[in-house]
Amino acid sequence: MTVETIDAFHFGKFYVVQPATGGHRSGMDAMLLAAMVAGDGKLKVADLGAGAGAAGLAVASRLQQAEVTLVERSPDMAAFARKSIALAENAHVASRVCVIEADVTLRGKARVAAGLEDEVFDHVIMNPPFNAAADRRTPDALKADAHAMTEGLFESWIRTAGAMLKPGGELSLIARPESIADVIAACGQRFGGLQVTLIHPRDGEPAIRMLVSAVKGSRARLVFRAPFIMHEEGHHFSSFVDNLNNGRAAYARLGRKRSAR
Amino acid sequence: MTVETIDAFHFGKFYVVQPATGGHRSGMDAMLLAAMVAGDGKLKVADLGAGAGAAGLAVASRLQQAEVTLVERSPDMAAFARKSIALAENAHVASRVCVIEADVTLRGKARVAAGLEDEVFDHVIMNPPFNAAADRRTPDALKADAHAMTEGLFESWIRTAGAMLKPGGELSLIARPESIADVIAACGQRFGGLQVTLIHPRDGEPAIRMLVSAVKGSRARLVFRAPFIMHEEGHHFSSFVDNLNNGRAAYARLGRKRSAR
């Protein structure tokens, strides 16, 4: 018997069914990633490595016309994603969210055959599984394994994102800060206009996460935006990060055209 | 006739003779770079691309036993560096500062023959000339030229720093944030333990400079330290950055062993 939980996000605007232990349980990383999607209308969004669907559902919940495709390789996690979509509480998003059970690292015709088509998405988001794996490793094992592992991971995931996005489409990801060189290398000639936001737990402490936004085909240079400081004054979230986490605000790219409303 | 100025740094603790216009005039970048050198005793420090010597003199002024080698290719700027050292006001540092007129990009025997010897320095600092050049370019020209230019620049300068440093020695540099991928690539297998500090002019604004510290031979992973916000409350420097700029504090690496005093 799989023990599962049903967790509320965005103050109960939507719910996610996920395994109580093991697998990857979603939290703030997924919500910050989802906040990076901004725009109006029938925005087509893909969530690569979607797990139980938290980030993708957060996008569909906040952007009421967005159409979201959850891509997940693990049959178990894809099943949780389908359960999440089927919850009565998620009826307002269910018709706009679908699941594709496929390996993000597929290439060429195999990728298209799995349902990950070329140039149909406006925005691709990803929270690669390295984060969870790395947190369970010792620092020494991390040093030995992490580089080779993540180098290939970002290269293959970002290559797939580049294929699936329309020209000018946006990629958003959340990752550990030490991955920055691998992320930049994987963006290569496919993406430009990288905007990096470092997330520091408290004032004066090193960054623990980074948000990276990029635009397919852009040649604009890399920018480090103002950082996020998550906790101020004894563990209260700063109000802006709190708003992002709870679906009350989007974190749009710098220089992005404002929408009509 | 060359029009020159004599500028006070560290509240008049030392002075720098530099061209009134043209060339590279030193200011806060050089002082923040100098602040990255910490330690006791006869620390041997090389300032690559030293210009008129502001950063190297700042190190010698704050660390009263440090021995500083200014490396500068331009005969004109090297002459300003020698004039700076010879100023009566700089008598307290003059015996500990020397100038080597040499091209930082020299390799192998040619580099050693020019006076840049292998494995003799504890700390190498650099403020590569790209900063000044880039500020004079238009954004479009920058996009076209900057990448190719800086990729080679950091590779050759950091290669030289790697050769000149003792094992375990420290490299410190200040550069534009968009150079981060080139800097990481140039550090390659030579340096590790990169610690990056982004400098934002004001709260909420993108970074305009980055400080990078690295250790020769280290395998430690990259860290983004807490950022600097230069101006607070209507253009007053934050007191910490102000102290670094004025030689009243050092900005040592995270995790660095404290000295005895």
**Highest CATH level, class, for A26-245:** alpha beta
**A178 touching B, CB under 8 A?**
yes
Residue B180: closest CA among chain A residues belongs to which residue?
Answer: A181
Q: How far is B184 from chain A (nearest CA, A)?
A: 7
CB proximity list for B202: less than 8 A, separation 6 or greater: B229, B230, B231, B232
**A200 touching B, CB under 8 A?**
yes
**pLDDT beneath 70, residues of chain A:** 1-2, 22-25, 130-151, 233-237, 257-261
Who among A180, A206, A224 is closest to B207 (CB)?
A224
Say yes or no for a CB contact (<8 Å) between A206 and B181: no
DSSP β-ladder status, A4-9 and A67-72: unpaired
> Is residue B61 a contact partner of residue B87, using CB atoms and an 8 Å limit?
no
**Phi/psi of residue B246, nearest 5 degrees:** -105, 15
Say yes or no for a CB contact (<8 Å) between A206 and B177: no
Residue B260 has pLDDT above 60, yes or no: no
Which residues from A are below 8 Å from B227, CB to CB? Answer: 198, 200, 227
Nearest to residue A217, comparing CAs of A190, A235, A251, A239? Answer: A190
Average pLDDT of chain B, as a whole number: 89
**B226 touching A, CB under 8 A?**
yes
Interface contacts (A, B; CB < 8 Å): 70
Residue owning tokens 């992490």 = A146
pLDDT bucket at B233, cuts 50 / 70 / 90 = low
Instruction: Supply the pLDDT for residue B142.
Output: 42
Instruction: Supply the pLDDT for residue A147.
Output: 44
* H or E segment to which residue A194 belongs: strand A191-202
- Secondary structure (H, E, C), B125-159: EECCCHHHHHHCCCHHHHHHHHHHHHHHHHHHHHH
CA angle B114, B117, B120 (to 5 degrees): 150
Instruction: Supply the pLDDT for residue B261.
Output: 35
pLDDT bucket at B154, cuts 50 / 70 / 90 = very high
Residue B178: closest CA among chain A residues belongs to which residue?
Answer: A222
Long-range Cβ contact pairs of B87-94 (< 8 A, separation 24 or more): B87/B6, B87/B15, B87/B17, B89/B12, B89/B14, B89/B15, B90/B14, B90/B15, B90/B57, B92/B14, B92/B61, B93/B14, B93/B57, B93/B60, B93/B61, B93/B68
Is this prediction's ipTM beyond 0.90?
A: no
> Is residue B194 a contact partner of residue B222, using CB atoms and an 8 Å limit?
yes
User: Which residue out of A182, A187, A212, A222 would a mutagenesis test of the B interface target, given it has the greatest number of B Cβ atoms within 10 Å?
Assistant: A222
Instruction: Supply the pLDDT for residue B152.
Output: 86
* H or E segment to which residue A201 belongs: strand A191-202
Residue A225: closest CA among chain B residues belongs to which residue?
Answer: B206
CB atoms within 10 A of CB A184: 21
DSSP sequence for B95-132: TTEEEEE--TT--HHHHHHTT--TT-EEEEEE--THHH
Who among A177, A220, A223 is closest to B206 (CB)?
A223
CB proximity list for A170: less than 8 A, separation 6 or greater: A37, A122, A123, A124, A213, A214, A215, A216, A253
> Is residue A226 a contact partner of residue A198, using CB atoms and an 8 Å limit?
no
* Spacing of C-alpha A105 from chain mean position: 16
**A241 touching B, CB under 8 A?**
no
**B109 touching A, CB under 8 A?**
no
Say yes or no for a CB contact (<8 Å) between A221 and B180: no
**A143 touching B, CB under 8 A?**
yes
Instruction: Supply the pLDDT for residue B24.
Output: 63
Who among B184, B185, B204 is closest to A226 (CB)?
B204
B 146-175 residues with CB below 8 A of A? Answer: 146
Distance CA B176, CA B135 (A): 10
Distance CA B196, CA B176 (A): 12
- At B75-116, the pLDDT tens digits run 999 999 999 999 999 999 999 999 999 999 999 999 999 999
Distance CA B66, CA B56 (A): 10
The domain spans of chain B are 25-186
Q: What is the CATH number of domain B25-186?
A: 3.40.50.150
Say yes or no for a CB contact (<8 Å) between B226 and A206: yes
Residue owning tokens 């502001």 = B54
Q: Which range (B67-76, B92-101, B234-243) has the least confidence? A: B234-243
**A226 touching B, CB under 8 A?**
yes
